Structure 1
Amino acid sequence: MTDETPGTKGAEDDTEKEGVAGFMARAKEQAQTAGKKMGESGAFEPLEHVAESFAANTMSEGRLFDMADALSDYRLNEVDVTDTTCGYCAVGCRFDIYSKDGEVLGVRPNPEKAPINGISTCVKGKFGYKYADSEDRLTQPLVKEDGEFREASWEEALDRVADGLKEIQDEYGRNGLSLVSSSKTTNEANYLMQKFARQVLRTNNIDNCNRLCHSPTVAGLSQTVGFGAGSVGTDALENTDCYLITGSNTTEAHPVLATRIKQNVKDDDADMFVFDPRKIQMAQFATQYTRIKPGYDTVWINGLIRHVIENDLHDEEFVEERTVGFEEVKEGVEKFTPEYVEEKAGVPPEELKRAAETIAEADSCTFCWTLGLTEHSHGTENIVSMANLALVTGHVGTEKSGLAPFRGQNNVQGGGGDMGPIPGNFPGYQKVTNDDAREKFEEAYGVDHLPDDEGYTITEQFLAADRGEIRGMFIQGENVVYSEPNVSHAGEILDDLEFLAVQDIFLTDSAKHADVVLPANAPVETNGTYTSSTRHVQLVKRAIDPPGNAKPDWVITQELAERFGYEWGFRNPSEIMDEINDLTPIYGGITHERLETEGSIPWPCWDEDHPGTPHLYTEEFNTDDGKAHMFPTDVSGPVEADMEDEAFPLAMTTGRVLYQYHTGTMTNREPGIRSYTDELFVEINPDTAADLGVSDGQVVEITSRKGSITALAQVTERTGGDVVFVPMHYFGRGDVANELTDEEHLDPQAHVPEYKVTDVRVAPTGEGERTEAQKAGAEGDD
């Protein structure tokens, strides 16, 4: 069985659009020079991107324009051109990929087919494709014998996976197994993974990395406004009159969105308020930047709400007609006085007042956040608080106002949530505990009984395995030994499993623990759909063929189901989407044929005559009574706040950097990116560094209650005096931030771990910067 056909060949229009903010003059000149080499067209001049200073600081000019040089070797009618959706973050950027003989030569946005990003791409979307033809790619299934891997046929490998899963179930029952799905792969592949879990294995023990990032967003928004997703489209992000941004290093995590926001602030005088423990780049453009203590977001958000209500700045008509719970919230925020907020969260009263009044009095406001607001043991309370603020001010349900969680992985909204690879939901957020929903899927899947109990979340899976309750796992496309908290313990748990299968594009450190490893397709080798942060469903098309005998994720799952006696019979992802829209009301009108014609469709899209819904809640909320429900929230604070210990005087927070991506599985294999950020570092405030006797570039040891790592000190005023910052990415040296984080204290509703606040101490090791030999020794690690 094969995937759908690659993209079509063809020439582009000769006209290139004008550059975007941050594009450097010398890069443009060099790109134009390279473009003149092309005899057929000027299609590749200039090479547009929004990589800011990346090209100047990271790549030599020769390396930067490798793609132009490569393209100049071919006539355009010899190059494959495929329009597709980016496989990195969830902004949903679309562009044309130019390829030849299985190699990605270049990327160029086509504004007519790119409704979200227009002519923009970030550095990863523009340059990050060397991983696809890496020598490390898995090309053949692997099975482990006597502790060593050997190549195997697909037949043998899939038989061994099926036998391993069956043996676990026979001995320990249906809940002796758990599955991890992938937010990197398509909606169609994730739909089949949840179908495999429920129809074939009869378990709800399936989850994905959505749990580790935005599950509080889903939980918080579901109970307040109805849908566990952002309410706004790109119009709000580009044209709102005011932004509240918190827990989002937007320029590094979502550069294309950051450019749109900065442009609105610069050109149209939009206000922007940034609340963050670090003085991120967005702070330079902000109307006001406020440094906050990490872990006390409910405090300052409730302080804003209190000021709005106390000064009669709330939208009384909106609150009365479209919400319930206002009086309870009003009473609940009474204690969050300016003095209390300053004491607990570090927000000066005058800054609290200015932000509250500007947000309330603005004609429109968009509330933006990422993991800095969610990755806490009380992350759901943070989101409920943010929803309360948006509702009290009436800034929900218009084209320019609303709630805007920026999602991290390319398909975490669709594949990680909408498609149901989570313990409590069928596709489309239909509850497994709801009798009507369960009966619908039982009829569709031809089974008498689907489990009616919620399964384990991903971190709970590891804890259950540690207790001996889960004895086998099947992991698709997640490098869990770096993404899970307390990663050393996570690796030990994988080793103790009786059976582990991993499906991925590389032999990751997680895959090294497996009994069977199945080689899958990379994003640029895949057909299907992704769903962006703004709920836009878009096509993904295969630009190059996969290496060796690697297969699409959906094909692997289908062939595995056949070994259990289930003949699904899907011939391509389009047919899988047909089943999705038949069973999932919010995707009811979305088909591959429509997407090919229309480009993108935002859900909910109820039927094929429905245009999709870019702006939610314009008339009513997705609740039983059509109204938004507000709930009072209190002070929870970081888990370790109650563990006062002078041995750990600093708070470590984590996050992303522009050039790297998540656990580094793909970006660590891009030479240009790797040459710029291949070392783990820790940001330390100059005053703190002086007190510790730490100098810039020195190797330091960071120790928490869970373990120790080493990193290069970066002395900077970006962080406050009692906070240090460590990137979440793995840089190839063996140390990773999640060695230090805690897996036991989870958000009670969303079950996300406390990633963003970890008590640590920092001490110099006596070493200077890493030697060239040490760096070279780490080059092959991932």
Structure 2
Amino acid sequence: MADMLLSYFREKQKYTQKEKVYPTQCPFCSVQCKMQLVEQTSVTRKSYRTVGLMNPTSKGRLCIKGLNAHQHTFHTDRITHPLLKKDGEFVEVSWDVALEYIAKNIHDIQNEHGKNAMSVYGSASITNEEAYLMGKFARVALQTKYIDYNGRLCMSAAASAGAQTFGMDRGLTNRLEEVMYAECIILAGTNIAECQPTIMPYFEQAKENGAFIIAIDPRETATTKLADLHLKLKPGTDAALANGLLKIIIDEKLMDESFIENRSNGYAEVARHLEDLSLDEISEKTGIVRKDLYRAAVTFAKKATGMILTARGVEQQTDGSLAVRNFLNILIATGKIGKQGCGYGAITGQSNGQGAREHGQKADQLPGYRSIENDEHRTYIADVWGVEEPDLPRKGVSAFEMIQKMDQGEIKGLFLLCSNPIVSNPNARFVKKALKKIDFLVAVDLFMSETAKLADVILPTTSYLEDEGTMTNLEGRVTLREAAKSAPGEARHDWQIICDVAKALGKEQFFSYSCAEEIFNELRLASKGGIADYSGITYNRLRGNEGILWPCPSEEHPGTGRLFEESFAHADGKALMVVVPNEPMIVKEKPCAEYPLYLTTGRVMAHYLTGVQTRKSSSLAARHFESFMEIHPETAKQMNITDQTLVRISSRRGSIVVRSKWTATIRKDTVFVPFHWDESQNVNRLVEDKLDPTCRMPGFKVSAVQVETLDS
């Protein structure tokens, strides 16, 4: 009997579970959904489930990526010890050995070639504290002007457009909840349903409330299915399309003349420019018939409230900054900004795409959205940092231009944090060649990314479950993600790694932080009085709040839900309209006899950026384990391409091999390939490396290609 009881209790113990809860927020897109990971442990196994937590932005919703985010955190391929390359192979070493090796190589490079021979390449997926430290590390520890980050490839066009038009850049000019009150919404180059699915209900609710939704996209997507009008334009013609809409609004006298007169500059020049444009030519150029142009323009202008939201489809072009400014021209001309249900939204891509561009990672920027070329700004930040203003470097160049300088031999070393430029940049083969030329590369990452494989040293960092700090979502809402799990092995937080390297370089006095909150308090001071003012935000306030929207200039201030109610951020308080040509200054590729199709790129719901994290998730990888090419069936038949077969796509830069996917939802002159894969499936191998002259954004969305079956 005793043996039977003992056997019973042992069997029962196997199924008795202990539960541990990790509160956190999703590491992927800019919505930054709050959630908790529940770990259940029994004698025989561990299991995990993810639960959404109520918050003002996503209301407790999660998408497939958030539900499975933990899978990469627990993956056996995690780097958990410093790795040093010896005889072409990585070997584990101590932190002391790794840091000493890094310091020696950096000193050798800078002593021989000058301070600017070292460069820093950051990320828009790190915390605000770490983004702030990256900028300080480059300017104080390395004293180099060469710093930029992967957000240059994501948000730079919208950021520059907002800054030039309004005097400041915040992802949304009002809270997401106001989408529900917009009577007309233009979604330009954004596929929210797949890229930020947890905010899609706002747009569905707006439609239920009677909103007229206009989608601008060369593809039919889950987002365009919601639209009342889909403008299926030729890739790369967004600026001309906006000109057509604005011309109709002015010709039909549907402007808000009072708003234009009292709150804007530049209207007269824009109106004169539009007089000389032909709607027939715009229709032919964009592929949108006149009646649809009229329907879109008149509907948006006549509705009492309206919003325009843009994303990478408009922005990732060599005239992306001007194209966004032209959509902002429409908002200003119709007076739909600064009041409920009216405003602009740049749908930020990366998890901290907003915060990471505010505090110093950009080549020309200091914390608080200050300018590194402004002497008053430089003096203020120098005082905060305890350095002399003349010792701060001046502005550097954009991310891709840094890579060009590596190829030219001007930059000899790179400190790379949580980014994968070999996959994410245009003309990817060139990028790999350039990175192989430099003398020294330090990579900080969770995994052995395609770029990390080239490194001399890899330093192990922590994941979203393990690292504490603030993030700023697409609304401009600052949230606190507290550490929930201990770091694996010898992995350290990004902020600790930056401080450790600075200490090894002899700059410990400027980087002697004990916790992330201490860094944030310095960031608050550094941002005080700047455009992106975080000075009134504290960890305690964030713990008792569900996020605070900046600017927040004092601890008594509630945060700013809606911008530009009374004035814009320019010195005269007015927004600035600008003339936008139909043809960009930097000529885009067009189809020709040899390369007869447009290529455009984008995301799929199950993956994120270059796929370094999501391809480590079995649940996500199973949904899309390889890349593919969408092609219209009629186009495919003309080229003898069958469905679900391997094809070679070639441009003037190179070729890749992917699987064909027939779909009648894409234009007949266009193919689409997602960008989450590496090597032979890396679509950025095909993209040319011309840059927007204003924001230095590459033109990812428009390339000319040919397609052939693999055996041809």
* Coarse TM-score class (shorter-chain normalised): over 0.9
Cα distance, 1:128 vs structure 2: 2.6
Cα offset, 1:565, TM superposition: 2.4
Is this contact kept in 2: 1:233–1:399, CA < 8 A? no
Distance, in Å, in 2 between the alignment partners of 1:426 and 1:511 is 28
The letter of the residue matching 1:185 is I
User: Structure 1: which amino acid aligns with 2:555?
Assistant: E
Q: Write the mapping of 1:271-350 to structure 2, written as runs, cut at 5 A.
A: 271-350=212-291
Aligned to 2:380: 440
Q: Does 1:702 align with 2:649?
A: yes
How far, CA to CA, are the matches of 1:104 and 1:131 in structure 2? 14
Give CA-to-partner distance per residue, 1:93-140, whole Å, 9 cap, x none: 1122223579782221222xx111112111101123211111110000
Q: Output aligned runs, 1:565-604, within 5 Å.
A: 565-566=506-507, 567=509, 568-585=511-528, 586-604=533-551
Q: What TM-score, normalized by structure 1, do the two folds share?
A: 0.86
Are the aligned partners of 1:85 and 1:538 in contact in 2 as well (CA < 8 Å)? Answer: no
- Residue 751 of structure 1 pairs with residue 699 of structure 2: no
- Report whether the alignment pairs 1:521 with 2:476: no
Question: 1:580 aligns to what SS in structure 2?
Answer: helix
* Matching of residues 352-391 of structure 1 within 5 Å: 352-391=293-332
CA RMSD of aligned residues (A): 1.7
Task: Name the CA shift for 1:163/1:689 in 2 (closer, same or farther; >3 Å).
Answer: same
Preserved contact between residue 299 and residue 336 of structure 1 (Cα < 8 Å):
no
Amino acid in structure 2 at the alignment position of 1:433: E
1:74: how far off? 5.8
Is the CA contact (8 Å cut-off) linking 1:235 and 1:399 kept in structure 2?
A: no
2:544 counterpart SS class: helix
Partner of 2:48: 105
When residues 561 and 518 of structure 1 are mapped into structure 2, their CA distance, relative to the original with a 3 A threshold, is: same
Whether 1:200 aligns to 2:141 is: yes
Distance 1:353 1:506, change over 3 A: same
What CA distance in whole angstroms lies between the structure 2 residues aligned with 1:90 and 1:224?
23
Q: What SS is found at the alignment partner of 1:313?
A: coil
* Counterpart residue number, 2:711: 766
Q: Say whether 1:679 aligns with 2:626.
A: yes
Q: Conserved in 2, the CA contact under 8 Å of 1:638 and 1:757?
A: no
Is the contact made by 2:139 and 2:393 (CA closer than 8 Å) also made in structure 1?
no
The offset of 1:338, in angstroms, is 2.4
| Letter aligned with residue 161 of structure 1 | I
Residues 675 and 683 in structure 2, CA contact (< 8 A), matched pair in contact too: yes
Give the residue type in structure 2 aligned to 1:434. Answer: N
- 1:455 paired residue among 396, 405, 410: 396
CA distance in 2, matches of 1:638, 1:432: 27
1:202 shift after superposition: 1.3
Q: Alpha carbons of 1:527 and 1:633: their partners in 2 closer, same or farther (altered >3 Å)?
A: same
Task: Report the equivalent of 1:227.
Answer: 168
What corresponds to 1:261 in structure 2?
Answer: 203
* CA shift digits 1:285-314 (9 cap, x unpaired): 211111101111111101111111111101
Contiguous gaps of at least 5 residues in structure 1 = 1-71, 768-782
Which residue matches 1:161?
102
Which of 109, 118, 121 is the matching residue for 2:59?
Answer: 118
> For the Cα contact (< 8 Å) 1:707–1:740, is it kept in 2?
yes
CA–CA distance in structure 1, aligned partners of residues 700 and 215 of structure 2: 21
Match for 1:749: what amino acid? T
Partner AA of 1:118 in structure 2: K
Paired residue for 1:778?
A: none
Q: Distance in 2 between matches of 1:704 and 1:622?
A: 43
Counterpart of 2:343 in structure 1 is 402
User: Does the Cα contact within 8 Å between 1:189 and 1:554 map onto a contact in 2?
Assistant: yes
* Letter in structure 2 aligned against 1:145: K
Q: CA contact under 8 A between 1:107 and 1:126: conserved in structure 2?
A: yes
SS for the counterpart of 1:760 is strand
CA shift, 1:467, in A, is 0.8
* Contact 1:376–1:638 (CA under 8 A) maintained in structure 2: no
Deviation sequence 1:428-450 (CA, Å, 0-9, x none):
11000000111112222222223
Distance 1:764-1:637 versus aligned 2 partners, 3 A rule: farther
Partner of 1:64: none
The equivalent residue for 1:735 is 681
Q: Name the CA shift for 1:336/1:300 in 2 (closer, same or farther; >3 Å).
A: farther
Using the alignment, how far apart are the partners of 2:56 and 2:188 within structure 1?
26
Cα deviation, 1:726-776, whole Å, max 9, x if unaligned, reads: 00111x674210111112x11011111110001000011139xxxxxxxxx
Tell whether the 8 Å contact from 1:306 to 1:337 is kept in structure 2 after alignment: no
Q: 2:189 — aligned with what?
A: 247
Give the distance between the partners of 1:491 and 1:467, measured in 2 at CA.
Answer: 14
Structure 2 length normalisation: TM-score?
A: 0.94
Q: Judging changes above 3 Å, is the alpha-carbon distance between structure 1 residues 492 and 94 closer, same or farther for their aligned structure 2 residues? A: same
Counterparts of residues 551-700 of structure 1 (less than 5 Å): 551-566=492-507, 567=509, 568-585=511-528, 586-637=533-584, 641=588, 645-700=592-647
How far, CA to CA, are the matches of 1:284 and 1:420 in structure 2? 39
Deviation, structure 1 residue 486: 1.3
Distance 2:48 2:245 in 1: 50
What is the match of residue 392 of structure 1? 333
Distance 1:165 1:132, change over 3 A: same
The AA in structure 1 aligned to 2:272 is E
1:187 match:
128
Deviation at 1:259? 2.7
Which position in structure 1 is the counterpart of 2:8?
A: none
Q: Aligned with 1:404: secondary structure?
A: strand
The aligned residue for residue 65 of structure 1 is none
After superposition, what is the alpha-carbon deviation per residue over 1:415-470, rounded to whole angstroms, capped at 9, x for unaligned?
A: 2x012111101011100000011111222222222345210211000111111111
User: Quick one: which amino acid aligns to residue 178 of structure 2?
Assistant: A
* Alpha-carbon distance, 1:638 to partner: 9.2
Greater shift, 714-723 or 538-547, is seen at 538-547
**Contact 1:159/1:563, CA 8 A, preserved across alignment:** yes
Displacement of 1:79 in angstroms is: 2.6
Give the Cα–Cα distance (whole angstroms) in 2 for the partners of residues 640 and 166 of structure 1: 42
Q: Could you tell me which amino acid in structure 2 is paired with residue 177 of structure 1?
A: M
Bigger shift: 90-99 or 714-723? 90-99
- Unaligned 5+ segments in structure 2 are 1-13
Tell me how far apart the structure 1 counterparts of residues 534 and 16 of structure 2 sit (CA, whole Å): 41
Q: Equivalent residue of 1:136, what SS?
A: coil
1:764 is aligned with what amino acid?
T
CA distance in 2, matches of 1:655, 1:324: 35
Match of 1:725 in 2: 672
Identity percentage over the alignment?
Answer: 32
Instruction: Name 1:171's counterpart in structure 2.
Output: 112
Whether the 8 Å CA contact 1:85–1:530 is kept in 2: the answer is no
Aligned to 1:27: none
Residue pair 1:325, 1:630 contacting (<8 A) in 2 also? yes
Alpha-carbon distance, 1:645 to partner:
3.7
Question: In structure 2, what is the equivalent of residue 428 of structure 1?
Answer: 368
Opposite residue 205 of structure 1, the aligned amino acid is: Y
Q: What is the number of equivalent residue pairs in this alignment? A: 688
**Alignment-derived partner of residue 83 in structure 1:** 23
Output one character per residue of 1:444-502: Cα deviation in whole Å (capped at 9) or x when no partner.
Answer: 22222234521021100011111111111010000111001111111111111101000
Q: Secondary structure at the match of 2:81?
A: coil
What CA distance in whole angstroms lies between the structure 1 residues aligned with 2:513 and 2:278? 59
Render the CA deviation track for 1:540-585: whole Å, top value 9, x for unaligned.
Answer: 1222222211000001111111122222321111111100111102
The 3-state SS of whatever aligns with 1:538 is strand
